[in-house]
């Protein structure tokens, strides 16, 4: 049973389907486009969670559904061309993640419905009129990462009580300015000094860590980014090398060796996105399906990394943790 709860009032539109729409499935193999930001290996947990969600709803690959995969390999500039390929493949719906993916899918077609497995504020981005009634071709799951920043910084300070100066890693392509602004405000509220390191590409990470350490940074905060997620193992390696405790957006970073994370489960979001695809294939309009926001957020801690950094995790944090890697 899924441990993570979603806002109940927003899910009503997903529960009932007209019988006529159910009948549309008979004798047809529907085509789902999967537009991935990374590659099949790195994205395997999320991809498998989505496929599992489809199976639970009665969709069997090779029988009544096929999935067309396109992978950007970490180069988001490729998304528009890949989205156009999916449209030419006559997919019935496109699954994406992130604002760049949503925009690429919107530009590739004026008719194909779009489901986002995980995106920031879709209303502020102009993808939807409201959470309750999106009104356009985009629906799915939204995470207000800017609302998580203060809590993540509080957890970091609880873990490293003497922290004064934090290095803030900010990927600039595409920029996440709303979350960056919230992070700066959260740091000020906690009495922390922060320096922003703008990362345009992966090679910039080495220099950013060296400079942060030379500046006597006490810890680091990593803003949400598809690029950071793709290179999460490298981030964890550099953080350990320069002895900088850090907090991340999702437990996948902790699985890769990062110290801790606080946020939604990516796998759960992808699994839940299958419900949207299911409803659309059965005749629902994306504009009528409310956008959900996760209300269950997970705290993950890597004790092996903590030991390597010479940190003792407070018992209160360990008791609250949903996942502890020993």
Which pLDDT tens digit goes with each residue over 128-149? 999 999 999 999 999 989 999 9
Q: What is the pLDDT of residues 21-32, one digit of tens each?
A: 443 445 789 999
Instruction: Categorize the per-residue pLDDT at 166 as very low, low, confident or very high, splitting at 50, 70 and 90.
Output: very high
Tokens of 245: 């405790």
Asked whether residue 18 carries a pLDDT value surpassing 50, the answer given is no
Q: How high is the pLDDT of residue 26? A: 58
Tell me which DSSP letter residue 294 carries: B
Q: Half-sphere exposure of residue 60, counting CA atoms within 13 Å on the CB side?
A: 4
- Round to whole Å and give the CA distance between 111 and 114: 9
Q: How high is the pLDDT of residue 176? A: 79
Is 73 in contact with 42 (CB distance < 8 Å)?
Answer: no
Q: Give the global pTM.
A: 0.86
- Round to whole Å and give the CA distance between 212 and 194: 10
Q: Higher confidence at residue 274 or residue 28?
A: 274
Asked whether residue 127 carries a pLDDT value surpassing 70, the answer given is yes
- Round to whole Å and give the CA distance between 86 and 305: 41
Q: How high is the pLDDT of residue 225? A: 87
- Round to whole Å and give the CA distance between 24 and 20: 7
Distant-in-sequence, close-in-space partners of 306: CB < 8 Å, separation ≥ 6? 245, 259, 312, 313
Tokens of 240: 């350990």
Kindly state the greatest CA–CA separation across the chain: 66
Q: Higher confidence at residue 22 or residue 281?
A: 281
| Least confidently predicted of 20-29, 54-63, 205-214, 306-315 | 20-29
Residue 24 burial (CB < 10 Å; 0-12/13-18/19+)? middle
Whole-number average pLDDT of the chain: 91
| Least confidently predicted of 5-14, 232-241, 285-294 | 5-14
| Least confidently predicted of 24-28, 172-176, 268-272 | 24-28
Q: Residue 223: which of 243, 204, 197, 245 has the closest Cα?
A: 197
Asked whether residue 259 carries a pLDDT value surpassing 90, the answer given is yes
First to last CA, the chain: 25
| Least confidently predicted of 3-7, 196-200, 213-217, 267-271 | 3-7
Which helix (H) or strand (E) element contains residue 96? strand 93-96
Q: Report in angstroms the alpha-carbon separations of 132 from 10, 97, 111, 168, 246.
A: 6, 20, 21, 34, 35
- Round to whole Å and give the CA distance between 70 and 33: 8
Instruction: Categorize the per-residue pLDDT at 230 as very low, low, confident or very high, splitting at 50, 70 and 90.
Output: confident
Tokens of 202: 């992966």
Asked whether residue 292 carries a pLDDT value surpassing 90, the answer given is yes
Cα torsion 57, 4, 99, 92 to 10°: value is 0
- Round to whole Å and give the CA distance between 101 and 30: 21
Domains defined for the chain, CATH in brackets: 8-143+265-288 (3.40.50.2300), 145-263+298-325 (3.40.50.2300)
Which helix (H) or strand (E) element contains residue 298? strand 298-302
Instruction: Categorize the per-residue pLDDT at 235 as very low, low, confident or very high, splitting at 50, 70 and 90.
Output: very high
């Amino acid at each position: 049973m899924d441990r993570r709860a979603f806002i109940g009032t927003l899910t009503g539109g997903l529960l009932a389907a007209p019988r006529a729409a159910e009948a549309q499935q008979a004798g047809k193999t529907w085509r789902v486009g999967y537009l991935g930001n990374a590659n099949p290996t790195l994205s395997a947990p999320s991809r498998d969670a989505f496929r599992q969600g489809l199976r639970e709803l009665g969709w069997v690959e090779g029988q009544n559904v096929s999935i067309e995969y396109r992978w950007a390999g970490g180069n988001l500039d490729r998304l528009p061309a890949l989205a156009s390929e999916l449209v030419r493949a006559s997919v019935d719906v496109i699954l994406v993640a992130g604002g760049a993916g949503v925009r690429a899918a919107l530009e590739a077609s004026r008719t194909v419905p779009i489901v986002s497995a995980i995106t920031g504020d879709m209303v502020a981005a102009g993808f939807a009129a409201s959470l309750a009634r999106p009104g356009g071709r985009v629906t799915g799951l939204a995470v207000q990462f800017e609302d998580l920043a203060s809590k993540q910084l509080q957890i970091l300070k609880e873990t490293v009580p003497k922290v004064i100066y934090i290095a803030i890693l900010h990927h600039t392509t595409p920029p996440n300015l709303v979350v960056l602004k919230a992070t700066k405000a959260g740091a000020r509220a906690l009495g922390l000094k922060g320096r922003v390191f703008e990362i345009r590409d992966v090679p910039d990470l080495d220099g950013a860590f060296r400079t942060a350490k030379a500046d006597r940074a006490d810890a680091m905060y990593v803003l949400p980014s598809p690029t950071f997620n793709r290179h999460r193992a490298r981030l964890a390696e550099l953080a350990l090398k320069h002895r900088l405790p850090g907090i991340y957006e999702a437990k996948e970073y902790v699985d890769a060796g990062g110290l801790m994370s606080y946020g939604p489960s990516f796998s759960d979001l992808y699994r839940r996105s299958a419900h949207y695809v299911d409803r659309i294939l059965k005749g629902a309009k994306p504009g009528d399906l409310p956008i959900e926001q996760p209300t269950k957020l997970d705290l993950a801690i890597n004790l092996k990394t903590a030991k390597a950094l010479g940190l003792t995790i407070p018992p209160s944090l360990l008791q609250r943790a949903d996942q502890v890697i020993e």
